[in-house]
Amino acid sequence: MNFKIPSKREIRHAWAAGEPVVTTSIIVLCAAVWVVEIVTRYLMPTVFSAIVNWGMAAPVLMVRRPWTWLTSMFLHAPSILHILFNMLALWSVGPMLERMLGHWRFLAFYLISGFGGAAGLMVWARLTGDWGIAAYGASGALFGLFAAMLVVFRRVGADIRSMLVWMAVNFAMPFVMGGIAWQAHVGGFITGGVLAALLTAAVPGTRGRSLTWRMAVFGGAIVVVLVAVVLLCSPQSW
């Protein structure tokens, strides 16, 4: 099978046709970063450690390293199961949500959900005093997408039993396998669920407003809340 990098014209056509360009791009980016991780892990261990330490989300350092809420979403453990499971999960829900939301709104939803996952880690560290935790992976953002699908399915009256089973399996994973940051799962799920509910609900004063307007207003408000949560829970603020 030959792999061909699409031309700009082909990408523009796919974008205009509503194909899952953003979902595919996220998967390609995560896979590329994972390959870099694997290569550096075996050939340049010092570089590998620097990449992971620089990019992972650690509550104790998150305020001083604010980029880590974003970079941690594109890092994965060296085990192929981690990235494979996450990317399969993304492909199972991403294309549908991207078609419903539109490319840029879907990307915003994904990133906000990922930020919610990082905030979940911060809240847990504050509640338990465990500032030694750190995590990376797309799971927080993915659980935000799961929550969005659940909200949408319920709104349209679709059968959500298969979705509930899938989510239950994902929520149960931390209890079966060690080293999984379930706190990020919960944070992403709550964030994605709240945002999806706001986008689909008849909120007073939003009648007739476009989905872009709703995403800007509600998504922006949630980001402000998440920033406040991170700052208030940070060890530097106490």
Distance CA 238, CA 236 (A): 6
pLDDT in tens, 147-168: 998 898 877 666 666 666 766 7
Distance CA 192, CA 108 (A): 11
In a domain, 143, yes or no: yes
Our count of domains for the chain comes to 1
**Distance from the Cα of residue 6 to its chain's centroid:** 25
In a domain, 132, yes or no: yes
The yes-or-no verdict on residue 55 having pLDDT over 70 is yes
Read off the pLDDT band of 92 (50, 70, 90): confident
The yes-or-no verdict on residue 176 having pLDDT over 70 is no
76 is catalytic: no
The domain of 113 spans 8-233
Q: Which of these is catalytic: 72, 113, 139, 234? A: 139
In a domain, 151, yes or no: yes
DSSP SS3 for 147? helix
DSSP SS3 for 8? helix
The full DSSP string for 88-151 is: HHHHHHHHHHHHHH-HHHHHHHHHHHHHHHHHHHHHHHHHH--TT--B-SSHHHHHHHHHHHHH
In a domain, 2, yes or no: no
In a domain, 194, yes or no: yes
82 is catalytic: no
In a domain, 182, yes or no: yes
Read off the pLDDT band of 1 (50, 70, 90): very low
Q: CB–CB of 69/114 below 8 Å?
A: yes
Q: Which of these is catalytic: 185, 210, 234, 237? A: 185
- Domain at 19, CATH number: 1.20.1540.10
Distance CA 41, CA 50 (A): 10
